[in-house]
Amino acid sequence: MPLQDNARIERVIADLRPQVPCRPPRRSVRSLGERMTELCTPGVSVAVIDNFEVAWAKGFGIRKIGERAAVRPDTPFQAASISKPVFALAVMRLWQDKSIDLDADIRTYLKSWQLPEGDNGWAPRINLRQLLSHTAGTTVHGFPGYPAGGTRPSIAQILDGAAPANTSSIFVDLIPGMQFRYSGGGTTIAQLAVTDLLGLSFPDLMRELVLTPLGMENSGFEQPPSSSLADRAAVGHPVNGVPIPDGWHVYPEMGAAGLWTTAGDLAHLGAELIRGLRGELTGLGLSRESLAAMLRPQLPDQTIGGEFVGLGWFCKGEGDAFSFGHGGTNHGFLANLRLYPATGQGAAVMINSNQGWPLLEELFHSIQREYGWPTMAQAASDMSIATHLPSTYRDSADRVYRIEQTGGKVLLRVGDQEPICLTSSNGVLSAQMPQIKLRLAATSEGSTAISLTQGDRTFEAVKVPAEPRVSTFRE
């Protein structure tokens, strides 16, 4: 590895800046090793993309608490929901080859199971485009997995919510194509549709269409993992540094959560995608047009520049600051992949701890500072939002919210509480203490409003009309 990259790695892992105030106060900048200890996270895998290439990939820490085996660049972790956009790439290969129609009724492809009708006989029509963009109205957000040594259900049992499945049945309870609602259940329907159509096992299908063409040698969708991966895999640690018995949970819902991979393999995939988006030939075989089609809004009320889900990918920003990616949470594992196609930059971070969730954003922010990821377009949008917010708002319970902009800061006053300083990012104003998010909204009557989210509650308040100014002119 070039000395320059080593120096950059050292700066990245020495400049983590926790966002939540500590009690008692500690210094604001800490090293990766310190944060791993504080957050009971034994292992971390990081890879950085710069100038459209993988600049470096490196492991930190150990695979399992109480053992000495180190995390290496080829140590597999569970990628969790990053499985979804990787699966979407396989579907796009099939679509580009005219083997599948994204807009056909999913019943066209399902053979071993059928989408249930509603109690009143309503038979919803959904398609792969909606399933990949979470707009099909399907139920079941995510999956907890199954102990590696226990009994596991078939895909049909998971879809029906039948024993030994540990999640409820998957069906459509919203009008399809109307709104976004995240659904790993919908991805599982898509998984079955594609395997029914091709007559291949899901791991074989993904190896043939994505993993082998991209040279992702440390990756696989087998559940449980193949011995070649399991023998060197990281062990999951949900909280307090306690390893999962048998190492990890198993996810039959492979399209939604089944990928085992490394940060380096994810970064290699990401570099191939962003090179493909500028027209280069890549091992994946997807054209520039096919890749770009995955990064477009799928609902009429979504626009480039805002946050939306394309076909498998979460997208936000515009211009050089446009980015796409996906995060993932499995039992004992967290992961995130983030890509900036205009500048050829990005990173993948994987950890074997749920308690270590702050590490992901802290590492991404450190990488962003070191490599100068774009922020200008995003910042301009954020300032525009902040400029339109200052005013007084009142909610249905007669609570008063005052938003002020002074000295370059945006302050929120709620009742007689002290003002809260808000920071702006991706069109959202937020604070870490108290933990709130505030967005600009509009009522059905067209009035300006705000929505404030705190914990699992959202409060909406409407702008109080300014009192008419009294003229002092006298004839």
> Within a domain: residue 237?
yes
Q: Report residue 475's pLDDT band, with 50, 70 and 90 as the boundaries.
A: very low
Residue 323 lies in a domain: no
- Beta bridge partners, 337, equal 326, 348
**Which of 123-132, 318-327, 455-464 is predicted least confidently?**
455-464
Going by pLDDT thresholds of 50, 70 and 90, the confidence category of residue 472 is: very low
- Tell me: the pLDDT tens digits for 226-264? 999 999 999 999 999 999 999 999 999 999 999 999 999
Of 40-54, 281-295, 305-319, 429-443, give the lowest mean pLDDT range.
Answer: 429-443
> Are residue 223 and residue 105 in the same domain, yes or no?
yes
Residue 232 lies in a domain: yes
Residue 292 vs residue 447, higher pLDDT: 292
User: How many domains are there within the chain?
Assistant: 2
Domain boundary among 269, 291, 313: 313
Domain holding 209: CATH number?
Answer: 3.40.710.10
Residue 351 covered by a domain: no
pLDDT at 467: 58
Helix (H, G, I), strand (E, B) or coil at 35: helix
In this structure, the answer to whether residues 253 and 399 fall within a common structural domain is no
In this prediction, residue 387 has a pLDDT band, given cuts at 50, 70 and 90, of low
Domain enclosing residue 392, as ranges: 379-463
Global confidence as pTM: 0.82
**147 & 291 share domain:** yes
Determine the 3-state secondary structure of 326 from DSSP. Answer: strand
Boundary residue ending a domain (290, 313, 336): 313
pLDDT at 26: 57
Spatial distance between the Cα atoms of 351 and 128, rounded to a whole number of angstroms = 31
Averaged pLDDT, 113-142? 93
Taking 60 as the threshold, does the pLDDT of residue 172 lie above it?
yes
For residue 377, is pLDDT > 50?
Answer: no
Judged on CB neighbours under 10 Å (0-12, 13-18, 19+), 57 is: buried
Shared domain for 300 and 383, answered yes or no, is no
DSSP 203-262: HHHHIIIIITTTT-TT-B--SSPPHHHHTTPPPP--STTPPPTTSSEE-S-HHHH-EEE-
In this structure, the answer to whether residues 161 and 277 fall within a common structural domain is yes
Closest by alpha carbon to 40, among 331, 239, 334? Answer: 239
- How large is the angle between the packed helices 184-198 and 83-96, nearest 10 degrees? 40
Cα dihedral sign for 268, 269, 270, 272? positive
Q: Are residues 387 and 269 in the same domain?
A: no
